[in-house]
Chains A and B, each alone.
Chain A
Amino acid sequence: NAGVMQNPRHLVRRRGQEARLRCSPMKGHSHVYWYRQLPEEGLKFMVYLQKENIIDESGMPKERFSAEFPKEGPSILRIQQVVRGDSAAYFCASSPQGGVGNQPQHFGDGTRLSIL
């Protein structure tokens, strides 16, 4: 079974450009979560989505960041006008249901975003 697939694995952008990170959840999973990780730190929750719905975006900056999970295709995390502080590893996780403890979240191997 294919796990959570994220691409690209590495992404380099110059300040002011846009970054698009893609996440395909595990087969049968309709719940997607995005997290951000700085070096030597834990993951920080950003946003939780179901198909065509944003359930919780409380961890996502109000400016420049957006996320979607369309009916067809992968979930997209989009960062506009990137700044140096956006450099981090961005992880996507998926689960078959959103309820507590129904199934643990399974993570992809992340996208390392570097801003020049």
Chain B
Amino acid sequence: GESVGLHLPTLSVQEGDNSIINCAYSNSASDYFIWYKQESGKGPQFIIDIRSNMDKRQGQRVTVLLNKTVKHLSLQIAATQPGDSAVYFCAEGGVDGYNKLIFGAGTRLAVHP
């Protein structure tokens, strides 16, 4: 069965605020985690990834945090912009030694002006 799930199906934020999207995973053998952004009618777009030997990784306006103790993953978006409105998916991989990804159900982020 699916091992990745999300706590909040929909998140509404004001433009300029920080957004936090959470994700839980159940397979402790997962070695690789990745966040994708999906806009309507498009394919998933890579945002940021992290290996299990790290607990934090930063990109441009985004930070991914990994807490292996509680099997929790989060995506932080700083200064959220209207263009960030989309569905965000976390995915895990590495159980089989390669990039077979298991996706969560997704969180819809709505940014209001």
Contacts and interface: CB of A to CB of B under 8 A. Distances in A.
Given A109-B41, A109-B42, A56 B100 contact: yes
Interface stretch (B45-53, B61-69, B74-82): B45-53
Q: How large is the interface on A (under 10, 10 to 19, 20 to 34, 35 or more residues)?
A: 20 to 34
B87 to A, nearest CB: 9
Nearest to A55: B98
Contacts of B36: 107
A98 B89 contact: no
B31 A109 contact: no
B106 A100 contact: no
Shortest 3 CB-CB contacts between residues of A and residues of B:
A42-B103, A107-B43, A100-B94
Interface of B: 2, 4, 31-32, 34, 36, 41-46, 49, 51, 89, 91, 93-94, 96-106
A45 to B, nearest CB: 6
Interface in A69-116: 91, 93, 95, 98-102, 104-110
Interface of A: 4, 6, 31, 33, 35, 40-45, 48, 55-56, 91, 93, 95, 98-102, 104-110
A61 B63 CA distance: 37
Contact of B31 (A95, A101, A105): A101
A109 B44 CA distance: 8
